[in-house]
Each structure stands twice: as C-alpha cells, then as structure tokens.
Chains A and B, each alone.
Chain A
Amino acid sequence: MNQDLALRIALPLLVLLVIIQIWSSIASVVEDFPTPADTYVAAFGGVNSEGDEVVGSLSDPFYIENEDDKGLFWQILNSLERVFGGFALAIVVGIPVGLLVGMSHRFFQAFDPYIQIFKPVSPLAWLPLLLLVFQDINMTAIATIFITSIWPIIINTALGVRSVDEDYMNVAKVLRFTPLEKITQIILPVAVPYIFTGMRLSLGIAWLVIVAAEMLTGGIGIGFWIWDEYNNLNYPNIIIGIIVVGLVGYLLDLMMGRIADYFDYTKRGI
C-alpha cells in the first residue's frame, strides 16, 4: 500500500522532470521562449534571469488597477461566469429538446438532420454572426458557449431516453401512468446519468472554447488575458495561463463528475 502511494507520487514527479527538461531545451533553442525558472518567477514573484524584480501574477491575483487591468482571479471569474451563463441556458433548452427527440420518433426525424449538421461546426464560426446580432462582447461569448454546450446535452438526453427499458414502460402502462408521470418516474431516473454525462462533456468543451472566444472578442477573461500577455511580450504569463486554464478545467470536470455520480442511481451504494 505504502509502496503504491510512493509510486503514485514519484511517477508523476519523474514525468515532471522530463517535461521541464524538454521545456528547457526548447527555451534554449527558441528565442524569447520563457525558461521554467523565469516562468516560476513570473508566477510567484522574485528576480528573473534579466535581474528584474517581478511581482508574480499568481501572488496577487486579486488586484484591480482599473477596468482594463485586473488580476488573474478576476479574469478566470469572468470566463467562468460566461461559461456557466451559456451552459445554464444550454441545459434549460437542451434537456427538454433532448427529451422530445428521445421520446418521439417524429421529433427525432424533424430535428436529427440539423443536429447532425450543426454539431460539427466549430462554435467559433458562429462568433462573428453572434457579435453582429448582440453587438456586445459578453452576450456574444455567452451565446457562443450556449451553442457549444447544447449539442452534447441534446444528444445524450435523447440517448438516455431511448435507453429506457421497454419493460419499465410496460410497468408504467399497466399502472396507467400519465405522460408526465412517465417522464418524472421512469424516463428521468434512467436518463439523468446520461444527461449528466452530456453536461460534463459540454462543460469541458465550453471551457476549451471560451479561451479562444475571448481571444477574439477581447475585453476581459482568461483567453483575452493570455492574448494580451502575448501582445505585452510577457511570454511567461502565457505558460502560466495555460497551466491555470488546465487546473480550472480539471476542477470543473471533477465537480461535474461528483454531481453526476450523486444523481446516478447505479452508483448509489450498490
């Protein structure tokens, strides 16, 4: 057991050393590419290789200089707000549509071609059109995330509905359940784990897309921040941004996984 624990800590550290080694060699070849040491300093503060005193972007993430210059925390918070705004809208619209598509063969026939065609379109392709409609960065970002998130939710909800055992429906028929009772007492319990899988996928993609969307829209947000640091020649901050985006995405996925398990009857102590 102890040996297992030791390996679980040691192996990732070993890989980290390899990563840092590769990173260092890239930094020695590519001009201006930040070294691991400079990136560390840029994150946590100190004196960098050029002898400059630096305040780390992670040591004071809460600062507000002015509307256009805020700490990393605010950038992340802003991106999360947009992601959850679009994500919430996608849930509100996607689940009922998914239920309809899953329950009615006619609805499926009506909607399926459009789901199949729009699903593979990069949400960023919608962005100019949405910007034209909303003339507002925030609304555009939220709408982009909405379009990103809705497909996996619709598809997985419909899949969940279709996976309801015929026998359960027969039980409902014998008991003369109303359509609403069928949904709440039979279909949703079966479909909820599928719906949460869809939501988990959606949130993951939304977090990927928001970074790119904010690079295009500008203003505020982690995506904008990374692009802004590039323009300001603060290259170490790009790497810091990448790591922070990764960590936040990981936490989001962990959180969705926990929530999904909570609502999944197959994982309830059986």
Chain B
Amino acid sequence: MGFLELIDVEKVFPLPKGEKYVAVQDVNLDIRENEIIAIIGHSGCGKSTLLNMIAGLDLATAGHVSLEKKDIDGPGPERAVVFQNHSLLPWLTVYQNIEMAVKKVIPELTSKELKEHVTHYVDMVSLDHAKDKYPGEISGGMKQRVGIARALSIKPKVLLMDEPFGALDSLTRAALQEHLMRIQQKVKNTVIIITHDVDEAVLLSDRVIMMTNGPEATIGEVLEVNLEHPRERVALQHDPEYIRCREAILSFLYEKYAKDDE
C-alpha cells in the first residue's frame, strides 16, 4: 500500500525536427508516509524531472504518479516545493513571503491565527530577527530557510526539495542540514530531497534512490539507511552503517555509473 507511488513512470520531451528525448523511463517507486527519501545521481540523470513530476509542475508522459491513490494531474499545496534558488518573492519581506502562502492555502484562519501561524514557522527556522527584512537583505542560507518555512507553513503531505542547499557553501550547507533534521524531528512529514552530495543523502534520508545516467535514466539501486534519528554528523563519521552507505553510493556514482565530464 503506497503513500506516494510511481508506477512505470516515463518522461519524454519533444525535440525540434520531431525527435524525442527520453529523460526518464521505467521508474517504479513506493514511498511510505513520513519517509525521507534522497534521490541522487549525476547531473542530467533526470532527478529534477522526477521531482517535477511528483510536484505536478511536469506531467509524466506514461505511467502513474499518485499520492494517497489519487493521480497527480498538476501542482498543489499538499506537495510543497523548496526550489534550489529559494524563489522568494523579492518585493515581500520574510514574514510576508510566508504569510502569502498561508493566506492562500489556509484562508479560513482569522487574522490572529494567521499571525500566530506565520510567526510559528518564522520561529521554526530561527528567523525572528529577520522577519521584516527583504530577501535581498539576507544571506543565501537564510533565504533557503525562509523557503523551507514557507513550504512547511502550508502543511504539505509531502515536502519536495530540489537540491535545496546546492547553491550554498559547505559550512552553511552543514548548518542547514542540521536545521532541517531538527525541524523534521518536530514536523515528521514525507520528504523527498534531490541532491548530488553523498554525505547529505546519507545524513538526511531513510532511503537513497540512485539514478542511472540519462538519457533514458531510471532507478539503478535503492539503499536503505539503517540509522536512528536524530543523527549526529560527527559521531556518524565512524559508524559502520554510515560508512557502508557512503561507500555504496560512491561505488554506484563513480564506478558503475561514472561520468567523465564531472
């Protein structure tokens, strides 16, 4: 019984001159409720395409993507997306960016409830001090935290993250991963995170989906990460399970499906 199911999913993009580009094909995946999934692969492996199909921003050209038995036929707030480049609206403050989403998705809130709700999510990502700042005035890491808060504030069933920390430096990235793990302990929802960072995948997820190289990319291997939450980055460095997972992914990416140009 799948919560989020992908059955024989295929995505074909038309090219000029009538040709076709098969981005992904034969993707079968069964995601449990409250599971954290990492999708990893080289660039061009169709992992973003996969995420977009779950988000509904792109539709599968064959097969089914369904959430709680309902086929996904477009985007919706029950599948919130944290975009790689945060995509905050630059003319709204941190608070207003979150408020705009909440107002639209949960319109029945009174103005007092709305304020409490938004403030709760601002606090969750520790941005109370910056809530009246504009996105142009805060750092990349802070912007991405706002993006996460905005996505969570609409209480999605699934949180989709497209390389959310890809554009950040490694220290900021580590801090944000910690942040995300802490939030996840509280919120406990289903998360799908696209990444090309091996440590990020192992640290955050319950299962790592490894994609073969495109075109015609598909799921190559699925790795169970048998580590208890909450996880501690430093302690894990010597944990045999962590090392096993890391090596499995590295071997997949750099031996079985090595890519020259990366």
Residue positions of A touching B, CB distance < 8 A: 165, 167-168, 170-171, 173-177, 181, 185-186, 189, 265-266, 268, 270
Instruction: Given A175-B104, A176-B77, A185-B100, check contact A170 B137 (CB 8 Å).
Output: no
Q: Which residues of A contact B81 (CB under 8 A)?
A: 170-171, 174
> Which interface residue of A167, A186, A268 has the most chain B CB atoms within 10 A?
A167
Q: Which residues of B contact A168 (CB under 8 A)?
A: 87, 89
Contact A176 B91, beta carbon cutoff 8 Å: no
> How many residues does chain B have at the interface if contact means C-beta atoms less than 8 Å apart?
24
Instruction: Given A173-B57, A174-B55, check contact A167 B90 (CB 8 Å).
Output: no
A171 to B105: give the CA distance in the assembly, Å.
12
Cβ contact of A176, chosen from B75, B87, B89, cutoff 8 A? B75
Interface flag for B134 (CB, 8 Å): yes
Q: Which residues of B contact A173 (CB under 8 A)?
A: 56-57, 74-75
Contact A189 B91, beta carbon cutoff 8 Å: yes
Please, which residue of chain B has its CB at the minimum distance from the CB of A265? B91
Contact A268 B134, beta carbon cutoff 8 Å: yes
Q: Which residues of A contact B230 (CB under 8 A)?
A: none
Cβ contact of B83, chosen from A170, A177, A181, A189, cutoff 8 A? A170
Residue positions of B touching A, CB distance < 8 A: 55-57, 74-77, 79-81, 83, 85, 87, 89-91, 100-101, 104-105, 134, 136-137, 154
A189 to B87: give the CA distance in the assembly, Å.
14
A167 to B88: give the CA distance in the assembly, Å.
9
Q: Which residues of A contact B101 (CB under 8 A)?
A: 175
Contact A167 B137, beta carbon cutoff 8 Å: no
> Which interface residue of A167, A170, A171, A186 has the most chain B CB atoms within 10 A?
A171
| A170-B83, A177-B104 given; 19 more Cβ-contact pairs under 8 Å | A165-B87, A167-B83, A167-B85, A167-B87, A168-B87, A170-B57, A170-B81, A171-B81, A171-B89, A173-B56, A173-B57, A175-B154, A176-B77, A185-B89, A185-B100, A189-B89, A189-B91, A268-B91, A270-B134
A167 to B57: give the CA distance in the assembly, Å.
11
A266 to B87: give the CA distance in the assembly, Å.
15
A174 to B83: give the CA distance in the assembly, Å.
11
> Which interface residue of B56, B85, B134 has the most chain A CB atoms within 10 A?
B134
Please, which residue of chain A has its CB at the minimum distance from the CB of B84? A167
A233 to B89: give the CA distance in the assembly, Å.
60
A78 to B230: give the CA distance in the assembly, Å.
75
Closest CB pairs A-B (n = 5): A265-B91, A167-B87, A173-B75, A270-B136, A189-B91
CB distance from A56 to the nearest CB of B (A): 49
A265 to B96: give the CA distance in the assembly, Å.
14
Cβ contact of A174, chosen from B76, B89, B91, B134, cutoff 8 A? B76
